[in-house]
Structure 1
Amino acid sequence: MTNNTNADEIWGVAWTYIRTVVDTLREPFLVLNGKLQVVSANKTFYSVFQVTPEDTEGHLVYELGNGQWNIPKLKILLEDILPKNTYLEDFRVEHDFPKIGHKVMMLNAREVHGVETQGSIILLAMEDITKQMQLEDQLRDYVKKLNLEVAKKTAELELRVKELERLNEIMMGREVKMSQLKEEIGKLKR
């Protein structure tokens, strides 16, 4: 009984530490139990996804926000990949959330094994990379337009160079003819 009590005390201290760390993170963050129920979330999660602790804690992650987290890729992450690897980094998920719209999220997850009486927990961090992806798309479009404009200007310059070469040939031809005419005039004057 003493071992379990000590383990529970240690787990209690560890849990307090985990909650403190989670609350200080700037990214949305969930703590799930082994049954994939939300044990805790940070303020950023509540703010970003516009939900309350009452609507979140104790619920299956897939039930959050009227099922908005029932995402096939998230299920693969939590039910298939994570149990085999205990951690996962940069798992990309795209989803249309009813309240906040289309989001591209990078998920990082880690399973933390607790004491026998507590079981394991899953730490799930979310990084919203939507703006970054939009900026990358805009940059890609800009580069594409820039390349098209450069190709267009290059083609125009090539045409002008050819026109100048043609005019140069005409001028050179005229100069040769002028030189020949001067010679002829010189011969006639003698």
Structure 2
Amino acid sequence: MMSAEKHSPEDVALSLTLAIVRSSPAPLLLLDGQLNIIAASMSFCAVFSVDEAQLTGQPLYALDDGKWDIPELRSLLTATMSGEGTPPARDVDLKQPQRPVRHLIIQASQLTYLDLEQTRILVTVSDVTQAWADATKKEESARAAHVLLQEVRHRVANSLQIIASVLLRNARTTTSEETCGHLENAHHRVMSVAALERLLSTSEHGDINVHAYFTKLCENISASMISDVDQIALIVEGGDGVVEARVSVSLGLIVTELVINAIKHAFPDGRPGVISVNYNFHGPNWVLCVRDDGVGMPSKAPVRTGLGTSVVAALAAQLHASVEITPEHPGTQVSITHTRIALVENEPETASGPPTGTRTASSAIRNQRVEE
């Protein structure tokens, strides 16, 4: 009986390497030091519709009648052959006649093994053509939807301004002071939402810059309710940040109610003064303050529970915030405080802390309590 043929360890190692490359589920090429193809995986042959027998011994750059002779691929293999580590993958566009361009991500690494005199390069090819096409289609759809949404918001803002104009015209023609007041308040509320929709129509991500929004809002209120801006000044402070659109709606309506209330009641008999709107962030927490230096609240006056007060209370509740009215000297301050994380008490107040008269909280967070 003849003994089984024995193979050298080198032959066994090479055979094993070729078997692993050929059976790989990823498209692979094994190259020698002259960048000739030693082996190709079956997945590579399937993806690029080639026969492995035709690939073996062929120079890589001669593949597909030279279509693989691409500057990016040459740069990748030159860097790989230099032996200075594994270079980053390259994005390569493979242009084939009468076929769409194929987008490939190609990686190459020089194999390290005992026979260092025999250079071997392993090339991995990922065809991301369909993934890129899907991503591009998704981005185009998102852009189209964003443009449509901006257009809708622009039209909504225009419609709201028309409604506000009708309300204001009716307020000026009615003979009832009470009805006139209600119509004017409704006008300002509609204008508050219209200003928000106008900003949203130009927003890239659907978020609202608080300072810009409050500034525009107060400009509208001032133009329609303050006949002499030198007599009553309406200023916006703080608010350097962005909030979600749904939050800004409630904040804008709260500011509208509080500012209108201050204009109507804080400066009787032509008294001059200042109304300030201040919004400060403290991480996830925030404080909105509307303050005036007017006559303040008479100590013997009954508690007002009008529509404006109810609106502010309801909007604050939607934002999971509390309302605090603080007598100032002079004037009054109304603070809307949202606390999502309870902070350590008795810490020194930071420079970005809330204005005087509000409840303060340190920026050093220790014992965190998240409120739903």
Pair in the same fold by TM > 0.5? yes
> SS at the partner of 1:153?
helix
- Deviation (angstroms), 1:26: 2.4
- In the superposition, the TM-score normalised over structure 2's length comes to 0.43
Tell me the equivalent position of 2:131: 132
Match status 1:155 vs 2:154 = yes
Q: Which has the higher helix share?
A: 1
Tell me the equivalent position of 1:20: 19
> SS at the partner of 1:87?
coil
CA contact under 8 A between 1:114 and 1:120: conserved in structure 2?
Answer: no
Please list, as runs of the form range in 1=range in 2, the aligned pairs for 1:20-169 lying within 5 A after superposition.
Answer: 20-98=19-97, 100-116=99-115, 119-169=118-168
- Deviation (angstroms), 1:21: 2.6
Q: Distance in 1 between matches of 2:135 and 2:165?
A: 44
CA contact under 8 A between 2:92 and 2:104: conserved in structure 1?
Answer: yes
Per-residue CA deviations over 1:41-97 (Å, capped at 9, x if unaligned) read: 011111111111232110110111211211111111112354243423432111212
CA contact under 8 A between 1:111 and 1:120: conserved in structure 2?
Answer: yes
> SS at the partner of 1:35?
coil
CA contact under 8 A between 1:28 and 1:45: conserved in structure 2?
Answer: yes
Q: Distance in 2 between matches of 1:109 and 1:119?
A: 16
Q: Distance in 2 between matches of 1:100 and 1:13?
A: 41
- Deviation (angstroms), 1:25: 2.4
CA contact under 8 A between 2:86 and 2:110: conserved in structure 1?
Answer: yes
Q: Distance in 1 between matches of 2:53 and 2:33?
A: 20
Partner amino acid, structure 2, of 1:133: W
> SS at the partner of 1:101?
coil
Relative CO higher for 1 or 2, CA cutoff 8 Å, sep ≥ 6? 1
Partner amino acid, structure 1, of 2:108: A
> SS at the partner of 2:87?
strand
Q: Distance in 1 between matches of 2:23 and 2:175?
A: 85
The alpha-carbon distance between structure 1 residues 179 and 73, as it changes in their structure 2 partners (threshold 3 A), is closer
Partner amino acid, structure 2, of 1:128: D
Q: Distance in 1 between matches of 2:88 and 2:178?
A: 80
- Deviation (angstroms), 1:123: 0.5
- In the superposition, the TM-score normalised over structure 1's length comes to 0.80
CA contact under 8 A between 1:28 and 1:125: conserved in structure 2?
Answer: yes
- Deviation (angstroms), 1:116: 3.9
> SS at the partner of 1:110?
strand
What residue ranges of structure 1 are gaps of 5+ in the alignment? 1-7, 181-190
- Deviation (angstroms), 1:22: 2.0
- Residues 76-85 or 160-169, more deviating: 76-85
Q: Distance in 1 between matches of 2:119 and 2:80?
A: 16
Per-residue CA deviations over 1:121-148 (Å, capped at 9, x if unaligned) read: 1000101111111112112211211111
Q: Distance in 1 between matches of 2:88 and 2:24?
A: 17
CA contact under 8 A between 2:83 and 2:110: conserved in structure 1?
Answer: no
> SS at the partner of 1:55?
helix
Tell me the equivalent position of 1:170: 169
CA contact under 8 A between 1:49 and 1:99: conserved in structure 2?
Answer: no
- Residues 138-147 or 8-17, more deviating: 8-17
> SS at the partner of 1:93?
strand
- Deviation (angstroms), 1:14: 2.9
Q: Distance in 1 between matches of 2:177 and 2:85?
A: 89
- TM-align CA RMSD: 2.5
- Residues 49-58 or 96-105, more deviating: 96-105
